């Protein structure tokens, strides 16, 4: 089947923000790209139980596997014919906050998911994005990836270490800038978006975050929905946050 002109086909790697996107519009069809089909099916079932107006589907997509990326985009092309929005959301942060220096294996693992994966997914997505009327890429980053923030002792975020994670998100931010500046992807708008400190499985301690009253991923997803809806078009190519805020690179 092919997507209708009224539909907006959105691919997100990972599960966070899917519920908010499907709640935003009946015309949104969100493809969940999940490394694990079992986890993806569980997430899909939970989202569908909300009876949101938007629709969802599931595809196996391991961002650390070239063959998985290729198969996923072949399937998307055959099923929908185009892609309107790519959300590079999958990421890992296995480091403790007090880590001083990462090991080689930690660097390889974190960069493979947080930088290499989004780069290769973006490259694979561009031909399908260029078939859309209003193509967008959202790279889900972190304030920890801001070089300016790390060097500002007045910023509360400056004190946390997470060295490999910081470096990886700085690399993801460069992917945003690089993609935005490519002539061959003219017309594809790109943002780095920081959702803030929210309740997800990233970094573990999910229950601790909930007990601390940390914002839900659904709350943080509003910023992504705003970008999809065109409400942040004046900030294209920038490092943006929720509630209209932006951050220096």
Indicate which residue of 8, 28, 162, 169 is catalytic: 169
Residue 207 annotated in active site:
no
- CB contact at 8 A, 195 and 173: no
How much is the average pLDDT of 97-124? 96
| pLDDT (0 to 100) of residue 194 | 94
| pLDDT above 60 (res 105) | yes
Domain definitions of the chain by residue range: 8-241
What average pLDDT does the segment 36-61 reach?
A: 94
CB 71 within 8 A of CB 128: no
Residue 210 pLDDT grade (very low, low, confident, very high; cuts 50, 70, 90): very low
Per residue in 130-167, pLDDT (tens digit) is 999 999 999 999 999 999 999 998 888 788 889 999 99
- Averaged pLDDT for residues 30-43: 94
Beginning with the edge strand found earlier in the chain, give each strand of the sheet holding 28-34 in spatial order: 55-60, 28-34, 8-13, 85-88, 136-140, 189-194, 239-241
| φ/ψ (deg, to 5) at 172 | -65, -40
- Could you give the CA distance from residue 168 to residue 145 in angstroms, rounded to a whole number? 7
Confidence check: pLDDT of 205 > 70: no
* Residue 5 pLDDT class (50, 70, 90 cuts): confident
Question: Is 169 annotated in the active site?
Answer: yes
Span 54-104, pLDDT tens digits: 999 999 999 999 999 999 999 999 999 999 999 999 999 998 878 899 999
Q: Are 191 and 229 in contact (CB under 8 A)?
A: no
Q: Report the pLDDT value the prediction gives residue 209, as an integer from 0 to 100.
A: 43
Is residue 13 within 8 A of residue 138, CB to CB? The reply is no
Report the distance separating Cα 98 and Cα 186, nearest Å.
42
Residues 6+ apart with CB under 8 A from 225: 17, 20, 21, 24
**Residue 12 pLDDT more than 90?**
yes
Q: Report if pTM > 0.95.
A: no
* Per-residue pLDDT, 213: 41
SS3 143: helix
CATH of domain 8-241: 3.40.50.720
Contacts of 154 (CB under 8 A, 6+ apart): none
Please identify which of the residues 165, 197, 207, 209 carries the catalytic annotation.
165
Helix (H) or strand (E) holding 58: strand 55-60
199's torsion region: left (phi>0), alpha (psi -120 to 50) or beta?
beta
SS3 category, 191: strand
pLDDT of 204 > 60? The answer is no
Most confident of 15-19, 123-127, 239-243: 123-127
Average pLDDT over residues 211-225: 67
| Residues 152, 248: Cα–Cα separation, whole Å | 11
- Quick one: average pLDDT of 182-187? 78
Yes or no: say if 86 and 136 are a contact pair by the CB < 8 Å rule. Answer: yes
User: Quick one: pLDDT at residue 211?
Assistant: 40
């Amino acid at each position: 089947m092919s997507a209708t002109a009224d539909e907006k086909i959105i691919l997100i790697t990972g599960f966070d923000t899917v519920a908010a996107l499907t709640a935003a519009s009946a015309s949104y069809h969100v493809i969940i790209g999940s490394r694990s089909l079992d986890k993806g099916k569980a997430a899909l079932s939970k989202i569908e139980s909300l009876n949101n107006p938007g629709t969802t589907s599931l595809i196996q997509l391991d961002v650390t596997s070239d063959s998985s990326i290729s198969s996923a985009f072949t399937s998307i092309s055959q099923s929908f014919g185009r892609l309107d929005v790519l959300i590079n959301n999958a990421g890992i942060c296995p480091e403790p906050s007090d880590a001083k220096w990462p090991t080689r294996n930690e660097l390889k693992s974190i960069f493979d998911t947080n930088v290499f994966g989004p780069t290769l997914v973006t490259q694979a997505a561009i031909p399908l994005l260029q078939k859309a009327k209003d193509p967008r890429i959202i790279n889900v980053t972190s304030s920890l990836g801001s070089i300016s923030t790390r060097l500002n002792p007045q910023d509360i975020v400056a004190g946390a270490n997470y060295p490999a994670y910081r470096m990886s998100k700085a690399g993801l931010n460069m992917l945003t800038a690089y993609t935005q500046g490519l002539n061959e992807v003219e017309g594809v708008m790109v943002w780095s978006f920081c959702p803030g400190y929210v309740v997800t499985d990233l970094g573990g301690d999910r229950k601790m975050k909930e007990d601390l009253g940390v914002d839900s991923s659904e709350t943080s997803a509003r910023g992504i929905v705003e970008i999809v809806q065109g409400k942040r078009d004046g900030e294209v190519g920038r490092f943006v946050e929720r509630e209209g805020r932006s951050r220096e690179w």
